[in-house]
């Protein structure tokens, strides 16, 4: 066995380092499906009273919807469990094509290509489309998968300040003569809940002849009047060239993702995108579930409207209680606490009050910007949100932060970003 004590020490030292920086991630065990209230195994035993879950990406409450489960089971019976192949060998069923067509129709794009995850989609696009004569302009708050995807590609990279159109323009100016320019942004920034200025980005793209790509993982299915996403919200459907998105959040929460875009771009990806070419097809069970979700949300905006109303209620309740929120425009509602230890203590105390929400601190968010990130779902009923609000108020009172300004909170809990 080559794994000797020096190698073991090499990894143990790293684990210790992670722990000493308080960056070690503990996972709680859920013993129920993902819903508004979940059963959780905790050190004191299983909490069967149901903890209100206010931190999942189950935006439309589809993760255990009976119709979605039935559709997934039907595919299990009629198409089998797995494809045992990549798409171009023998991994394409009729339902994979149906889902691609459905996504194109919904997002208003020419064509769509499926991936095992949105992470894979973002890993596989840049290298396939751009070479060393091209340039990428990427928002500084873009998701890790975009950062990694751009690293795999030889194009020149420019990181512009978050949502800062002047900075983006300055950088576009520098690359006036490059062969292909591509601006890429998250539609909704997942730590702040803010929305990218896609309309302004499209304007700049027209001026500088650049392609626009939006990762709408935190938007597809519910942002915009009919839930198409941030391009609908900003009235630029037809102007965004590429959308990447996930099936792991609003669209059922299982797994999988896709890229929708101009016909020629999708055709190139089918030929050249490595995570598509060399990774297994999405399971028919998942495809069946997502197809059902798509039929449901294309047939009615009821769930998306409920999510919007729930979010308004939640934001108002927290604001009235005296919490400081980010300037969020989405169901991601971060409650600012600034101090890292306070964010962890707050989360633990909330849990004791029956509410499950996670505290984030550096390096997940910038230093001095620790927070509890809450995420609202259409699965939440009024009574869930009222109970959660009461818990937030109790915990806020306990730590003495209700109605306090940022400066006052920082005076009580100086920023150290160490637990």
Ligand X SMILES: Cc1ncc(COP(=O)(O)O)c(C=O)c1O
Give me the least distance between CB of 191 and ligand X, in Å please.
10
- Identified binder of ligand X from the candidate list 37, 112, 217, 230, rule CB under 6 A: 217
Of 52 and 121, nearer to ligand X (C-beta) is 121
Q: Binders of ligand X: how many residues, by CB under 6 A?
A: 13
Site membership for ligand X, residue 143 (CB under 6 A): yes
Known catalytic residue at 398:
no
Give the one residue of 117, 230, 283, 377 binding ligand X; rule: CB under 6 A. Answer: 117
How many CB atoms are closer than 10 A to CB 272? 14
Q: Catalytic residue, from 178, 190, 217, 330: name it.
A: 190
Name which position in 102, 181, 218, 380 contacts ligand X (CB under 6 A).
Answer: 218
Binding status of residue 150 toward ligand X by CB under 6 A: no
Residue closer to ligand X (CB basis): 93 or 190: 190
Please give the C-alpha separations between residue 87 and each of 81, 90, 158, 287, in angstroms, as whole numbers.
15, 6, 33, 14
Does 138 help bind ligand X (rule: CB under 6 A)?
no
Closest distance of CB 57 from ligand X, Å: 7
List 249, 315, 369, 393, catalytic entry: 249
* The token pair that represents 292 in the structure block: 């059902």
For ligand X, which is the closer residue by CB, 333 or 391? 333
Handedness of CA 202, 177, 157, 368 (dihedral sign): negative
CB of 124 to ligand X, least distance (A): 12
CB of 400 to ligand X, least distance (A): 33
> Which sign, positive or negative, has the C-alpha torsion 104, 107, 110, 111?
negative
Residues 45 and 23: their CA atoms lie apart, in Å, by: 25
How near is the Cβ of 247 to ligand X at its closest, in Å? 7
**How many other C-beta atoms can be found within 10 angstroms of the C-beta atom of residue 41?**
12
Contact 54, 355 (CB under 8 A): yes
Q: Tokens for 332? A: 């991601």
Q: Does 283 bind ligand X (CB under 6 A)?
A: no
**Rounded to the nearest whole angstrom, what is the least distance from the CB of residue 30 to ligand X in the complex?**
17
Is 44 a catalytic site residue?
Answer: no
* Residue with token string 């459907």: 237
**Judged by CB under 6 A, which stretch of 26-34, 78-86, 112-120, 353-361 contacts ligand X?**
112-120
∠ CA 246-31-359, nearest 5°, is 60
Question: How far is residue 103's CA from residue 232's CA, in Å, rounded to a whole number?
Answer: 14
Q: What minimum distance in Å lies between the beta carbon of 411 and ligand X?
A: 34
Query: For residues 51 and 233, what is the distance between their CA atoms, to the nearest angstrom?
Result: 33
Residue carrying structure tokens 């009919």 = 226
Phi-psi group of 289: left, alpha or beta (phi > 0 → left; psi -120 to 50 → alpha; rest → beta): alpha
CA 132 – CA 179 distance, rounded (Å): 9
| Near ligand X in 247-276, by CB under 6 A | 248, 257
If binding is defined by CB under 6 A, does position 392 make contact with ligand X?
Answer: no
CB 359 within 8 A of CB 346: yes
Question: Nearer Cβ to ligand X, position 71 or 214?
Answer: 214
Q: Which of 96, 102, 171, 218 is catalytic?
A: 218
Is residue 232 part of the contact set for ligand X (CB under 6 A)? no
Give whichever of 1 and 144 is closer to ligand X, judged by the CB atom.
Answer: 144
Chain centroid, CA 141 distance in Å = 12
- Verify whether residue 315 is a known catalytic residue: no
Q: Is 311 in the site for ligand X (CB under 6 A)?
A: no
**The binder of ligand X chosen from 100, 127, 139, 186 (CB under 6 A):** 186
| Residue-by-residue DSSP string for 175-220 | TTT-S-EEEEEESB-TTT--B--HHHHHHHHHHHTEEEEEE-TTTT
**Residue 145 near ligand X by CB under 6 A:** yes
Determine, following the binding rule CB under 6 A, whether residue 190 of this chain makes contact with ligand X: yes
Residues interacting with ligand X, by CB under 6 A? 117-119, 143, 145, 186, 190, 215, 217-218, 246, 248, 257
- The catalytic residues are 190, 218, 249
């Amino acid at each position: 066995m080559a794994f000797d004590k020096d190698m073991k020490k090499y990894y143990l030292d790293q684990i210790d380092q992670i722990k000493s920086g308080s960056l070690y991630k503990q996972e709680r065990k859920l013993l129920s499906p993902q819903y508004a209230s979940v059963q959780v195994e905790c050190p004191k035993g299983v909490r069967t009273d149901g903890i209100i879950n206010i931190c999942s990406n189950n935006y439309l409450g589809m993760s255990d919807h009976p119709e979605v489960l039935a559709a997934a089971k039907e595919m299990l019976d009629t198409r089998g469990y797995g494809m045992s192949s990549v798409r171009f060998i023998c991994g394409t069923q009729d339902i994979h094509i149906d889902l691609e067509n459905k996504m194109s129709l919904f997002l208003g794009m020419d064509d769509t290509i499926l991936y095992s995850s949105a992470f894979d989609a973002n890993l596989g696009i840049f290298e396939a489309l751009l070479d060393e004569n091209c340039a990428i302009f990427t928002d500084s708050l873009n998701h890790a998968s975009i950062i990694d995807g751009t690293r795999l590609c030889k194009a020149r990279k420019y990181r512009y300040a978050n949502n800062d159109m002047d900075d983006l323009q300055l950088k576009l100016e520098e690359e006036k003569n490059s062969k292909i320019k591509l601006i890429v942004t998250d539609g909704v920034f997942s730590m702040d809940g803010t929305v990218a200025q896609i309309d302004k980005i499209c304007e700049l793209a027209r001026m500088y002849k650049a392609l626009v790509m939006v990762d709408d993982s935190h938007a597809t299915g519910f942002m915009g009047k009919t839930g198409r996403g941030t391009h609908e919200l900003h009235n630029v459907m037809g102007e965004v060239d590429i959308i990447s998105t996930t099936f792991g959040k609003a669209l059922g929460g299982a797994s999988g993702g896709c890229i929708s875009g101009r016909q020629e771009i999708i055709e190139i990806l089918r030929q050249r995108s490595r995570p598509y070419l060399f990774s297994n097809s999405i399971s028919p069970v998942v495809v069946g579930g997502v197809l059902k979700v798509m039929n449901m949300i294309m047939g009615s905006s009821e769930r998306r409207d409920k999510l919007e109303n729930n979010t308004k209620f939640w934001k108002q309740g927290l604001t009235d209680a005296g919490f400081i929120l980010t300037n969020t425009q989405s169901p991601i509602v971060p409650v600012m606490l600034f101090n890292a230890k306070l964010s962890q203590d707050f989360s633990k105390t909330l849990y004791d009050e029956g509410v499950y929400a996670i505290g984030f601190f550096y390096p997940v968010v910038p230093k001095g910007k620790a927070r509890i990130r809450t995420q609202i779902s259409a699965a939440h009923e009024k009574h869930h949100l009222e109970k959660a609000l009461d818990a937030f108020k109790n915990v806020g009172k306990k730590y003495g932060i209700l109605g306090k300004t940022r400066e006052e909170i920082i005076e009580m809990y100086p920023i150290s970003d160490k637990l």
